[in-house]
Structure 1
Amino acid sequence: MQEKAMVIGGSIAGLLAARVLSDHFKDIILIEKDSSMDDGKARIETPQANHIHILLVRGREILQGFFPELEKELLKKGANKIDFLNDSRYRLPSGWAPKFNSGIITFACTRTLLENTIRHQIQKIPKINIEQGEQITSFVLEKSNKISLKTKEGKEIHGDLIVDCTGRNTKTPTWLEDIGFPKPRETKIDSFVRYSTRRYIPSKKDRRWKMLAILNKPITNPRIGAIYPIEDGKWLVGLYSIGKNYPPTDEEGFLEFAQHLESRELYDALKDATPDSEIYGYQVQGSRKYHYEEMKQWPENFIVLGDAVSIFNPYYGQGMTSAALGAKTLDDMLKDNKVKKGFTRKFQKRLAKEISLPWILGTSEDLRWSTTVGKRPNTITRMVQNHAQKVLLLSPKSKLAAKSFQQMMHMIKSPAIIFHPAILLQLIANSIWKKDE
């Protein structure tokens, strides 16, 4: 077992990294500049915490593997167990998705509850020490191509492995450049997404769904709406739009926006519900990826994962699951290797492969909109994306198509699942039927 590992940032990515490192290092220090992590509130570094955060099934599976008691604890605190097709009323661009037991199951709650519950699990591990109120301000280059951390007070902190989990506000590109490393190549895709969210107390009216989602209609209607169940029997209601058609944060505008979704069902549900918070707005920075996997010069004791590597459009719910994928990748590599020369570069290369699927799934969909800024996908990616859109449009008529599409989006099956021969036959039959209409 190796000696000392450092994690910068107490986000979900940072907590997962600390959990992984506890199996491979004698001493783990998690550094978080927020000094109020134990008060049950969202961290200062997560202004998006008031909004809907979906944990995809693949993410749930990884979290459950690291924390066997997590699901039980979340359900005890009021989280909801959801089958994404059976418990949802899901409006797709071509109609309502079929309701059936799909086995695509995760839990729904606020991000704050999920993060705090994971943190409480972490605090039970004796070898993990959380240092709150500590701010890192730069890197220091050491011998043998390693780095150490410098705090605001000028103290240097050393570690056999240092992990940046500081999220979208990461300073790694700048700090590496300051000590002589090149800056990584950066890819940006901006679909100009903004969202507005409000908590509601639902009426006691009997409904046939736990979650309601109304998707946009490509080209004609960029508006999206969702009702997401959280603890205490409340709802988080999120309104989203692509292409600068921003949802308002005032009462009248919020409800007016909801009226013009592809279905009025969300608006009708709000008429019977009681507001339980202000309306929170959030401007998404766009999707961003640092290509650390390409860098030929790289510190031998330093890695980056989570949002510090890639920021995803939050609408697709990929952020927390991608952080979990990064933690699992680190765990898998540490089981087979010690941190020695070449380990950290290999990790960044392998991580890039692991998170390439959510990146392609999310950005390809964003790039369908002419208002999106960023490099268009290559021909093969565009063909796969067009086929995925056909499968999505087929879903209201086909349980197989609906389930396969969701399995792909939840990262429990590869995109090959939507090329199943039965789905291809259904697409052909649907095309013939349309021609005969």
Structure 2
Amino acid sequence: MDHAVIIGASMAGLLSAAALHRRFARVTVLDRDTLPTLDTHRRGTAQSRHAHGLLARGREIMEELLPGLTAELVTHGATRGDLQERTRWVHAGRALARGTSGLEGLLVSRPLLEGEIRRRVSELPGVEVRSGQVVTGLLSEPGRVTGVRLATGETLAAGLVLDASGRGSRAPEWLAALGYDPPEEERVTIGLRYGTREFRRREGDLDGDLAVIIAPTVETPRAGVGLALEDERWIVTMAGYAGEEPPLDLPGFTAYATRLPSPDLHELIMAAEPIGEPRGYRTPASVRRRYERLDRFPEGLLVTGDAICSFNPLYGQGMSVAALEARALLDPDLRPQAFYRRAGAVLDAPWDIVVGGDLRLPGVEGKVTPRVRMVNAYLERFHAAAHHDPGLAQRFLRVANLIDPPPALLSPAALLRVFRSGARPAEPALA
């Protein structure tokens, strides 16, 4: 049947629809929410009120799937620019050296980005986005999923069902009901808690820089992000691990900023006018479901986005990985095992980055291997050297933005520059 049904109008679901409309005559996207007609927050995207990063590779793939998207977002106030020139990247307690990376970034709020993508996808030939639709189960025949059942009793037949319903995906239990094993699940417990406030943006803030990203350190396991958004505002998100929660009241929020590994966000907050209401958010764990390891799987059912792997959102990888997984749907072979091999290859690098980075922090629960310890020790040296070396900083940003694989940081040329620099890791900051 030349019909694909996508469960969830998430970023993963919408981008998958942009890919699958090239493969199927009809694509129906079902979402349980009442989807907004304006670029506003919606209930099913609770994290949309917090800072969102769109990595360079993610923007490239979105542009490939929906040509002209970047330019359209810029007309609505998004800002594009080189990711190394006007961004303060603070890792291991030190700012990376400035330079020109050739990586194009896009600063845009989640509601504007998601709203524009939803509009563009809804206008694609053969695509229908339906809101207020709850999927309660799958239709099937031996060895194959053939459609979905809705809470209203309606059934939709489909040649492909794609689950993009997010962290709360019911695919594992649906598989079990059909007589298949659910996937193994890997979990790294982080106990991450967000606090976010917005501020009015003025000319001269941060000396003209447009973003600050402060990564946590072992000594100071707190992080902060400040991004320039449309409508002349800053969004500032701070986060603590292992259940530590940034206060949302302005005095407490400001005081918390003094406890980050760098003073940049505190200086911004002290000089800026607060606007809007503060918001909190919690992420208990990073979770990866190993669908690629299953040796039996029904035809006609695929899982993508947060339903297959949900990351610590501090790393800003979720939307970009969803875009890469959507691109994998363009391959002619949509058999589950073939798709999950491609998806696994997409996920391996960002998963290693997130898990390796988090497992070095106190309070994070997961398996710390000798390899993780070795890589983390090397990265401390790498970031110390990249504080002075724009070339190393660029190399790191290419990996962080999913352009190059992590082994690029361990190339002979990179190793030589790191150890020749003689730079030592930063002194521990006071927590």
* TM-score w.r.t. length of structure 1: 0.92
Q: 1:327, 1:269 → 2: CA distance?
A: 37
**Could you say what secondary structure the match of 2:231 adopts?**
helix
1:65 is displaced (CA, Å) by 0.7
Q: 2:175, 2:74 → 1: CA distance?
A: 42
> Which residue matches 1:142?
141
Alignment of 1:17-166 (within 5 A): 17-166=16-165
| TM-superposition CA deviations, 1:160-188 (whole Å, max 9, x none) | 01100001121111222223222221110
Indicate conservation of the 8 Å contact 1:82/1:210, yes or no: no
1:382 is displaced (CA, Å) by 4.1
> Which residue matches 1:262?
261
> Which residue matches 1:195?
194
Q: 1:185, 1:37 → 2: CA distance?
A: 35
Q: 2:178, 2:414 → 1: CA distance?
A: 54
Q: 2:424, 2:404 → 1: CA distance?
A: 29
Q: 1:88, 1:145 → 2: CA distance?
A: 49
**Could you say what secondary structure the match of 1:284 adopts?**
strand
Q: 1:265, 1:321 → 2: CA distance?
A: 26
1:432 is displaced (CA, Å) by 8.5
> Which residue matches 1:399?
390
More displaced, 318-327 or 207-216?
A: 207-216
Mark the CA change 1:372 to 1:353 in structure 2 (over 3 Å): closer, same or farther. Answer: same
More displaced, 85-94 or 405-414?
A: 85-94
1:297 is displaced (CA, Å) by 2.3
> Which residue matches 1:212?
212
1:18 is displaced (CA, Å) by 0.6
> Which residue matches 2:406?
415
Output the amino acid matched with 1:388: L
| TM-superposition CA deviations, 1:234-286 (whole Å, max 9, x none) | 11001112232221122221111012222323212112211111111101131
Q: 2:424, 2:355 → 1: CA distance?
A: 32
**Could you say what secondary structure the match of 2:34 adopts?**
coil
Q: 1:144, 1:184 → 2: CA distance?
A: 17
**Could you say what secondary structure the match of 2:209 adopts?**
coil
> Which residue matches 2:354?
362
> Which residue matches 1:168?
167
> Which residue matches 1:351?
343
Indicate conservation of the 8 Å contact 2:21/2:125, yes or no: no
Mark the CA change 1:296 to 1:417 in structure 2 (over 3 Å): closer, same or farther. Answer: closer
Is 2:284 the partner of 1:285?
A: yes
Mark the CA change 1:389 to 1:36 in structure 2 (over 3 Å): closer, same or farther. Answer: same
**Structure 1: tracts of 5 or more residues without a match:** none
Output the amino acid matched with 1:74: L
1:348 is displaced (CA, Å) by 1.5
More displaced, 144-153 or 403-412?
A: 144-153
Q: 1:246, 1:268 → 2: CA distance?
A: 21
> Which residue matches 1:383?
374
Mark the CA change 1:203 to 1:150 in structure 2 (over 3 Å): closer, same or farther. Answer: same
Q: 2:354, 2:21 → 1: CA distance?
A: 32
1:385 is displaced (CA, Å) by 3.9
Indicate conservation of the 8 Å contact 1:203/1:274, yes or no: no
More displaced, 69-78 or 194-203?
A: 194-203
| TM-superposition CA deviations, 1:101-148 (whole Å, max 9, x none) | 211221011111111111111122121011211110112332443342
Root-mean-square deviation (Å):
1.8
> Which residue matches 1:227?
226
More displaced, 79-88 or 383-392?
A: 383-392
More displaced, 184-193 or 146-155?
A: 146-155
**Could you say what secondary structure the match of 2:191 adopts?**
coil
Q: 1:124, 1:154 → 2: CA distance?
A: 27
1:49 is displaced (CA, Å) by 0.4
Indicate conservation of the 8 Å contact 1:195/1:246, yes or no: yes
> Which residue matches 1:425?
416
1:152 is displaced (CA, Å) by 0.4
**Could you say what secondary structure the match of 1:167 adopts?**
coil
**Could you say what secondary structure the match of 2:277 adopts?**
coil
* TM-score w.r.t. length of structure 2: 0.94
1:3 is displaced (CA, Å) by 0.9
Output the amino acid matched with 1:210: L
Indicate conservation of the 8 Å contact 2:385/2:422, yes or no: no
Indicate conservation of the 8 Å contact 2:3/2:159, yes or no: yes
Indicate conservation of the 8 Å contact 2:202/2:232, yes or no: no
More displaced, 172-181 or 229-238?
A: 172-181
Q: 2:63, 2:287 → 1: CA distance?
A: 28
Q: 2:424, 2:245 → 1: CA distance?
A: 38
> Which residue matches 2:429?
none
**Structure 2: tracts of 5 or more residues without a match:** 426-431
- Identity over the aligned pairs, expressed in percent? 29
Indicate conservation of the 8 Å contact 2:195/2:237, yes or no: yes
More displaced, 75-84 or 425-434?
A: 425-434
Output the amino acid matched with 2:243: K
Indicate conservation of the 8 Å contact 1:388/1:405, yes or no: no
Mark the CA change 1:309 to 1:433 in structure 2 (over 3 Å): closer, same or farther. Answer: closer
Output the amino acid matched with 2:166: G
1:419 is displaced (CA, Å) by 2.4
Indicate conservation of the 8 Å contact 2:384/2:424, yes or no: no
Q: 2:4, 2:144 → 1: CA distance?
A: 17
Indicate conservation of the 8 Å contact 1:164/1:304, yes or no: yes
Output the amino acid matched with 1:134: Q
More displaced, 59-68 or 414-423?
A: 414-423
**Could you say what secondary structure the match of 1:169 adopts?**
coil
1:433 is displaced (CA, Å) by 8.8
Output the amino acid matched with 1:213: I
